[in-house]
Amino acid sequence: MPNPKRKHTRARRDKRRAQNWKLEVKNLSVCPSCSAMILPHRICPECGSYGGKVVLAKKEKKKDQGQDSK
């Protein structure tokens, strides 16, 4: 098996290794009901719809009145 005659520099080694860590841009699409940016083939986290139908009903946050005031 052939062996290298000279040592590769750190820069040359690190350039080769850096190719494996490239980040990919996520493909986002527009929700047809609320126009929010979402990942394709997933339920919209803003309105809870998928394929033009409401799949998950949005929960409303309860407001605590007077418990934290001192």
- The answer as to whether 68 is a domain residue is no
Mean local confidence (pLDDT), 40-47: 92
- The answer as to whether 6 is a domain residue is no
- The answer as to whether 61 is a domain residue is no
Find the domain containing 37 and state its range. 26-50
- The answer as to whether 56 is a domain residue is no
Give the pLDDT of residue 7.
Answer: 94
Mean local confidence (pLDDT), 53-68: 76
How many independent structural domains does the chain possess? Answer: 1
Tokens 């080694």 belong to which residue?
Answer: 13
Question: What's the CA gap between 37 and 52, in Å, rounded?
Answer: 15
Give the pLDDT of residue 66.
Answer: 65
DSSP for residue 68:
S
Give the pLDDT of residue 18.
Answer: 87
* Residue 70 scores a pLDDT above 70: no
Q: Give strand pairing partners of 5.
A: none
- The answer as to whether 39 is a domain residue is yes
- The answer as to whether 38 is a domain residue is yes
Question: What's the CA gap between 57 and 33, in Å, rounded?
Answer: 14
- The answer as to whether 59 is a domain residue is no
Give the length of the chain.
70
63 vs 6, more confident: 6
